[in-house]
Structure 1
Amino acid sequence: MRAQICFNVSIVFSFVAWGVVAGSVIWPDLRRRGRNEALRPLLMFHSFRFVGLSFLVPGVVSPDLPAMFAESAAYGDIVAAALALLTLALLPSKPGIVAAWVFNLWGLADIIHANYEGIRLGVEAGQLGAAYFLPTFIVPLFVITHGRMFWLLLRNENAVPAAPARLA
C-alpha cells in the first residue's frame, strides 16, 4: 500500500511541477507563434511515445503486470507516436490540421483508456518496474500538452499573435 501511495503522490506532484514549467517556460513561447508552428514542438515531444513499448519488455516490467494493460498501453502509445510524426509531415496543410485533431483525440483517449484499464485491472506501482517513470513523470506532461493542443486547434487560426508591448 505504501508503494501505491508514493505512486499517486508522484503523479500529483508531476502534474503540479509540469504545470509550473508549462505555464512559465513553454506556453509563453508557444503563445507568440501561429497555430501550426506552436503545434510542431508539442508533436515532436509526442513522437517519443514509442517509449510505451517498454511495458512489453520482460525485465523492465514485472511478469505480474497484466498483459491486457501492457499491450493496450504499449500499442496505443506506438499508434500515438506514429500519428504525431504523420501530423508533423502533413503540417501546415489542411490535412495536417485534420491529422492533428485525429492525433490529439487518439492520444488523449489512449491515456484515459490506459488509466482506466490500470485501475480496472488493479495494476500496482511495483508491477511497472522501470516503467514506473512513464505514468509518474512523462504522462502528466503528455496530458498537459494535449490540453494545449486542443486550445491551439480550437483557436482556428494561424496568425501570429501580436507581441505584447514592452514598457520602457
Structure 2
Amino acid sequence: MSPQTIFQLHLVLGYVAWLLCFNVYIWPRLKSMGRFEALRIIATLHSFRFFGLVFILPDIVGPHLPASFAGFAAYGDFATGVLALLALLAARVRPLFRAFVVAFNLVGSVDLILDYYHAVRAGLPALAGQLGAVYAIPIIYVPLLMITHVAAFHLLLRPLGEQQGRAIWPLHQGPGG
C-alpha cells in the first residue's frame, strides 16, 4: 500500500474507532451530567491543543512538511487551546465560561476543517512521513477533537433541562432510545 493510502485508511479508521468508543463510553456519561460539567470536560480535553505548535517545531516534523499546512494547523490549535484554557479559568462566571466555550468550539472546528483543506491541497497524505512523531495527532487525536466539537455544539444548542434519550450518533441505542 502507498503511504497516501495508509494515511487515509488510518484517518478513516481513527474516526470509526472514536465514534464507536464515544457513543458507547463517553457520550452516555456526558449526557447524564449537567451541561456545565459536560462542557467543562470537553474544554479540558481541548485545553491541551497548545500541543499543535509541534507542527512547526524543527527536528520533530520533517523538513518537507508543507508550511501551508503546518503553520495554519499549529496556530489554529494554539488559539483553540488558549480559548479552552480561558473557558476553564472563567468557569466560576458562567456567561463568560459559555462565551469561551462557544469561541473555542467555533475556532477549533473551523481550524480542523481548514487543516483538512490545507492538507489535501498541499498533498499531505502522500507526504505523511514528514509528520514524523506527530503522525498520531491527525490519526488519533483529531478525530476525537472533531467529535467532541460536535458534541459541544449539541450540548450548547440543547434547551436547558432537556434530557437526552438517544446517542448523539445512532450507532448505539441505550434504554429508552
Tell me which of the two structures has the higher relative contact order, counting C-alpha pairs closer than 8 angstroms and 6 or more residues apart: 1
1:17-60 deviation digits (Å, cap 9, x = unpaired): 11111111111111111111110111101111112111111221
Q: Which residue of 2 aligns with 1:56?
A: 56
Aligned pair partner of 2:147 in 144, 147, 153: 144
- 1:102-117 matched pairs, under 5 angstroms: 102-117=103-118
- 1:18-37 matched pairs, under 5 angstroms: 18-37=18-37
How far apart, in 1, do the equivalents of 2:11 and 2:121 lie? Answer: 18
Query: Does the CA contact (< 8 Å) of 1:44 and 1:84 recur in 2?
Result: yes
Superposed CA RMSD: 1.9
Counterpart code for 1:93: R
How far apart, in 2, do the equivalents of 1:116 and 1:162 lie? Answer: 33
Matched, 1:4 2:4: yes
Q: TM-score, normalised by structure 1?
A: 0.90
Counterpart code for 1:118: A
- 1:84-163 matched pairs, under 5 angstroms: 84-91=84-91, 93-123=94-124, 124-157=127-160, 159=161, 161=163
Q: How much does 1:68 deviate?
A: 2.4
How far apart, in 1, do the equivalents of 2:163 and 2:144 lie? Answer: 25
Query: Does the CA contact (< 8 Å) of 1:83 and 1:99 recur in 2?
Result: yes
Unaligned runs of 5+ residues in structure 1 are none
Unaligned runs of 5+ residues in structure 2 are 166-174
Counterpart code for 1:94: P
Q: 4+ residue stretches of structure 1 with deviation over 6 A?
A: none
How far apart, in 2, do the equivalents of 1:137 and 1:101 lie? Answer: 24
Q: 1:154 to 1:122 in 2, by over 3 A?
A: same
Q: How much does 1:160 deviate?
A: 7.8
Paired residues, what number? 163
